[in-house]
Structure 1
């Protein structure tokens, strides 16, 4: 009996084990796997491309840019938009800056292009690198190093970077030391955008479409004190979906006519609408159209704003327009130009608020209470048109983060 009873107990235990395992399997089958985290590509830095001089063969560039939003899957866009011959880039790396031209140890990684270590960008084109599987923090100095083995002809980049970058003769892009990077440049060469993958599914960016004020002239070089930089710092703590900032300002730029850079109407698609994750376009341009004395009227400028807005809205994005700031004391100022500026601003403060998704009154922020046609001296960079660091910070402080995202 004892032997038979023992065998029965062992059989019963085995059956219970099978049932338990089947039940556990059923529970696992019934429990859905957690979905993979969704990511959103969003621009973290940008600078509008333009002609920056002539290309140089055998030249290395170590370019310093400031990220606005952090993420993984870093990609860099390289531009030959104004080139007249194909541009080959070789030995392209991305790392984080330690100091000067030196990089943080272990941070410098090679970028690839469809798996290759070099890329040839056709004349008039741009191309993205493959994603780099590493985390990039917000507010960091990202360094892109590249080498141009046989470059020639017009070079594309951003002339007025307000940032010191570095150059070297020969191929030194893989080095983390700054020893061989003894030359300097205050332009960004061959790059116009950096994007990351944010873990926030709703993450987005704002693109500031503007002129030299947005470009940062009269702010302090190397300290990232352009008004879009101050805005990026505000957005990191604002808790809003819009976190990335793309600075698409070009010194001397106009809304309506080409000149120092293509007009805003002509560069909108390449510089703004092609940027990953852009949710809102912040339009702050017009003073160069007005002070050029080409006969541009308030109606002409408003028509340009409306055309830009129509195209942006057609892509499902928001538009915030800023009033035109004061510039009395600048050599091109006269009462006729001032009258046009005042008429444009009256429109924006009035019926313009119904046509655009938001209006930000930069004129009210910058003007003197004693002479509303002039910059407040405390905010004046010295030429009566461009704000200083304090003025740049005041502009960013006037932007309502909640208005940078609309129901579109």
Structure 2
């Protein structure tokens, strides 16, 4: 087997956890390390669980993801959080992405779970693979291919990923390095919840908790131009002791206060999903929140939204982590805008900037607003609907943070 793109390292370690309750990976808690050798587990890529419509039957899904930081001993976390029956797979492979659905020849490697190639995840459960020995480079696109045995019920996925994934023709094509069997594109990541590596102890993960603006709807698909990607690119240029990993936990349409999980939905609220989507991901030390415009659109008052923020702050602090507030970007000219809703947005942003209740602030509003009309995005940043920033707008957002603000000390 060719392992040229991962330098072989230590032995594989089981860190598997499945179960319907709690969804906490007890065998690989946040901050788990190698017994004092100066490393820890960090989430180099992550996405939040949602629901995709339809079912999958005896086919393979190929997900494309991009690491933020490098490390060793890759582990993949799969999720059946919303499944109504067990998710069964007998073949999961990871490779280095070439183009489309193809894998760089010679890089495909099989994952095991508890030493086995087959896996059964109960409804509501998750599982982490054994460690795959070798080095994983930073800012590298990987393929994660999962063969589905039988027919799924409700599909746990992440919709509007701004990245194409692929569905195969019938059968197990997880090991295939060519794209021949993968005839159908999708805009969702299937069953994939996190990519975890062993990294130097000083490298922590920032989880960006948000809605479609954090998922970066409006950017060019397959180009990794989301603002969390831009942020990851900035950290990658720093000396190793200052680098941070980024895990994008945005869900399109999500709210802080209210949500519901069903096919095509906006997912459960940030308050409901904080533990599972963010706090159980290894290495997360800072939560960066950019969320609330969907609450305002749905009729929430500024005071109600601020109360929601305070609960997020209290729970993140109780877990021993830091939380940074992101100001809500302009919505003038969009379907969201009314003078009353703009007043609520301004009041919420004033709280984020001046209350001192967050551990830091990233002023996304200031970075993207039109100086001539602060209720609107700059024309060069508008994705076309007055609400979602385009590639240039996401670039400005990714450059808005002081990098040291996001390090939790």
Q: TM-score, normalization: structure 1?
A: 0.88
Residue 116 of structure 1 deviates from its aligned partner by: 0.5
Question: What is the distance in 2 between the residues matched to 1:250 and 1:348?
Answer: 21
The range that moved more, 181-190 or 300-309, is: 181-190
1:279 corresponding residue in structure 2: 285
Residue 150 of structure 1 deviates from its aligned partner by: 1.1
Are the aligned partners of 1:226 and 1:389 in contact in 2 as well (CA < 8 Å)?
yes
Are the aligned partners of 1:242 and 1:404 in contact in 2 as well (CA < 8 Å)?
no
SS in 1 for 2:130: coil
The alignment yields a C-alpha RMSD, in angstroms, of 1.3
The structure whose Rg is larger is: 1
Unaligned runs of 5+ in 1: 1-34
The range that moved more, 98-107 or 226-235, is: 98-107
SS in 2 for 1:305: helix
Are the aligned partners of 1:292 and 1:332 in contact in 2 as well (CA < 8 Å)?
no
2:234 corresponding residue in structure 1: 234
Are the aligned partners of 1:73 and 1:135 in contact in 2 as well (CA < 8 Å)?
yes
Residue 36 of structure 1 deviates from its aligned partner by: 7.8
Distance 1:262 1:213, change over 3 A: same
Are the aligned partners of 1:284 and 1:321 in contact in 2 as well (CA < 8 Å)?
yes
2:46 corresponding residue in structure 1: 46
Residue 332 of structure 1 deviates from its aligned partner by: 2.7
Are the aligned partners of 1:205 and 1:242 in contact in 2 as well (CA < 8 Å)?
no
Unaligned runs of 5+ in 2: 1-34, 261-265
Question: What is the distance in 2 between the residues matched to 1:154 and 1:201?
Answer: 38
Residue 393 of structure 1 deviates from its aligned partner by: 0.6
SS in 2 for 1:398: coil
The range that moved more, 281-290 or 167-176, is: 167-176
Give the alignment partner of residue 312 of structure 1, picking from 304, 307, 316. Answer: 316
Residue 299 of structure 1 deviates from its aligned partner by: 1.0
2:401 corresponding residue in structure 1: 399
2:343 corresponding residue in structure 1: 339
Give the alignment partner of residue 358 of structure 1, picking from 347, 357, 360. Answer: 360
Question: What is the distance in 2 between the residues matched to 1:406 and 1:243?
Answer: 10
2:326 corresponding residue in structure 1: 322
Q: Are 1:65 and 2:65 matched, yes or no?
A: yes
Are the aligned partners of 2:236 and 2:243 in contact in 1 as well (CA < 8 Å)?
no
Are the aligned partners of 1:208 and 1:248 in contact in 2 as well (CA < 8 Å)?
yes
Deviations 1:153-197 (A, max 9, x none): 110010111111221121111121222222211111111111011
Question: What is the distance in 2 between the residues matched to 1:346 and 1:126?
Answer: 39
1:173 corresponding residue in structure 2: 174
Count of aligned positions: 368
SS in 1 for 2:143: strand
1:96 corresponding residue in structure 2: 96
Q: TM-score, normalization: structure 2?
A: 0.88
Question: What is the distance in 2 between the residues matched to 1:348 and 1:190?
Answer: 34
Are the aligned partners of 1:62 and 1:173 in contact in 2 as well (CA < 8 Å)?
yes
Deviations 1:261-316 (A, max 9, x none): 000000000000001101100000011000123xx111111111111011111111
Q: Are 1:156 and 2:160 matched, yes or no?
A: no
Are the aligned partners of 1:242 and 1:279 in contact in 2 as well (CA < 8 Å)?
no
